A and B are shown apart, each in its own frame.
Chain A
Amino acid sequence: MELSADALALLEDVRQARASRRMIVSHGDARSVDLAAAYAIQAALGEGLPVKGYKLGLLSSAKQAQMGIDSPIYGRIYPAMMLESPVRLTRFIQPRVEPELAAVLRAPLMPAATPGAAAAAIGGWFLGIDLLDSVWEGYRFSAAEVVADNSSGGGFLIGGRLIDQQPNGVLRLYLNGTLRAEGDLRALGDLHERLCWLATMVGGLSAGQVVFFGSPAAATPAEPGVLEVIGPGADCLIARLEAE
């Protein structure tokens, strides 16, 4: 896709800010870049890298309305973004954390797949942590700006227990023992429908890819210490965030 001058300027802004780990200020709607162009920028910034999976964002219609869009957004997960504890916060610009649910696919999922096909393609559910990061100061951005910036993709942690049946209930996130965020997974909508939407948007998903379904709770700033996500069953994911 041919990028406009505004789109090329956005691409360069994000590329440089990511490379130098510096925040930049949103241009609001001063630049004319549509979502299709923003996704093209996102793809261009990760060109040549294998895609380990995807993250979904802006799942609630309230958030979407706020951003002037009518669908969720997605970002790409590259292999180097799959992290293990301990996580060094110095790799991020302004990290935030969210408790999430993730699924690992055991079979490919074609564009326009049915929800049943999505259910059959899921090899297992896992608790996850989305360590968001954004080049946009204070996470103030337009829809095109956040999409171009890989939908605030930073890093991801994923639990060690395969959950066979899609979990329902509340996810809680504790930072240094204090409850920082909680939300009901029902807020994410029908996850099989979400997966079908994603498969259509990205031209199909493949076996072995992982999908983070977005957070049912507000993001909270990351701080050094102990991060715990407690899931509905007996599930937990414990990680250490380190300043250095």
Chain B
Amino acid sequence: MPEQSVGGMDIEAVARRLDAAWEQRQPIMPLSESMVLTADQAYAVQTRWTELRQARGERVVGRKIGLTSRAIQQQLGVNEPDYGSLWESRYFPVVDGRVDVPADLFLQARVEGELAFLIGRSLREPGVTLQDVLAATEAVAAAIEIVDSRIADWRIKLADTVADNASYGGFTLGPWSRAMRNIDLRTVGMLLYHNGEPVVQGIGAAALGHPARAVAWLANKLISFGVSLEPGDIVLSGSLGPAIPIRTGDVFTLEMHGQPPLSMRFI
């Protein structure tokens, strides 16, 4: 992981500000407006924040990849994705494909549909390709991700979202499918329903051209920080369409091709 203190910047203090914002649901002004924060420093903040939470009992169950669509990359002026950690306290398991999630856990949450990978073999050698990822994948599942920002009004630049754990909010998963490893994930389609309206039409190729390419990017990025994807890690590979803002009472249903529907209600 990146160093604890980079270039004299107070990594710890920034991590604590984000943690307070998360706990109190009170957004903060964009970090990038008040300080110079490089991407590496932002990852150091993110790592430190995760450590602070782990010290209080949080567990990391995997990773999420963000900024995987060309549109969002252009909007932020970047040419690569970013990643964050999946914190177990915000994993919402489904019962019969449905889950209720308290809306007041979040500041300004949005919902995305995507594919999750269950890693079956360590990816520790640099130069990981998307085919390596597929060969190392145990199973694939449909996933609803909740993204949220501790930065006021989502006024994020790259460093803001990286430090803010890649705007992680929470997630839920459909059943793990081994068969989904063998379908062409570029052409897998999905519909995300918002209160009965199919508002997002997504396709696998929307995540960096191929969801497994996003996972390969993550694997290589982690290796560059001296970390790796390991068996049992869950990876959310990036939204297949736009994120939809939530309100209390909203019902979202994700229909991923060939998979049972996945419903999330905000209560």
Q: Which residues of B pack against A, CB within 8 Å?
A: 120-121, 123, 125-132, 134-137, 181-186, 210, 212-213
Contact = CB atoms under 8 A, between A and B. Distances in A.
A126 B131 contact: yes
A158 B131 CA distance: 8
B120 to A, nearest CB: 8
27 contacts: A50-B125, A50-B127, A104-B135, A106-B121, A106-B135, A106-B136, A123-B136, A124-B134, A124-B181, A160-B130, A160-B210, A160-B212, A160-B213, A161-B182, A161-B184, A161-B186, A162-B131, A162-B135, A162-B137, A162-B181, A162-B182, A163-B182, A164-B181, A164-B182, A208-B123, A208-B125, A208-B132
A207 interface: yes
Interface string A148-164: 00000000001111111
Contacts of A50: 125-127
B129 A82 contact: yes
Given A160-B185, A161-B182, A104 B134 contact: yes
A18 interface: no
Contacts of A162: 131, 134-135, 137, 181-182
Interface residues of A, number: 23
A81 B121 CA distance: 24
Given A106-B120, A123-B136, A160-B213, 12 more contacts: A50-B125, A102-B131, A104-B132, A104-B135, A160-B130, A160-B185, A160-B210, A160-B212, A161-B186, A207-B121, A208-B123, A208-B125
Interface in A122-167: 123-124, 126, 158-164
Contact of B184 (A104, A106, A160): A160
B132 to A, nearest CB: 5
A60 B27 CA distance: 67
B183 A161 contact: yes
Given A104-B135, A123-B136, A158 B129 contact: yes
A82 B137 CA distance: 21
Nearest to A162: B134
A118 interface: no
A210 interface: yes
A211 to B, nearest CB: 11
A127 B131 CA distance: 11
Contacts of A124: 131, 134-135, 181
Which 7 A-B pairs have CB atoms at the shortest separation, nearest pair first? A123-B135, A162-B134, A104-B135, A161-B184, A124-B135, A79-B127, A164-B182
A10 B120 CA distance: 45
A52 interface: yes
A14 B186 CA distance: 40
A146 B170 CA distance: 55
A55 to B, nearest CB: 15
Contacts of A82: 127, 129
A105 interface: yes
Contacts of A158: 129, 131
Interface in A190-244: 207-208, 210, 234-235
B123 to A, nearest CB: 8
Contacts of B212: 160
Interface in A30-58: 50, 52
Contacts of B125: 50, 208
Contacts of B127: 50, 52, 79, 82
A210 B181 CA distance: 18
B78 to A, nearest CB: 19
A126 B183 CA distance: 12
Nearest to B183: A161
Contacts of B136: 106, 123, 208
A234 B136 CA distance: 22
A152 to B, nearest CB: 22
B184 A208 contact: no
A158 B132 CA distance: 11
Nearest to A234: B184
A126 B210 CA distance: 15
Nearest to A50: B127
Contacts of B121: 106, 123, 207
Nearest to A124: B135
A226 to B, nearest CB: 17
B183 A105 contact: no
A159 B137 CA distance: 16
Contacts of B210: 160
B177 to A, nearest CB: 13
Nearest to B122: A207
Contacts of A207: 121
B150 to A, nearest CB: 35
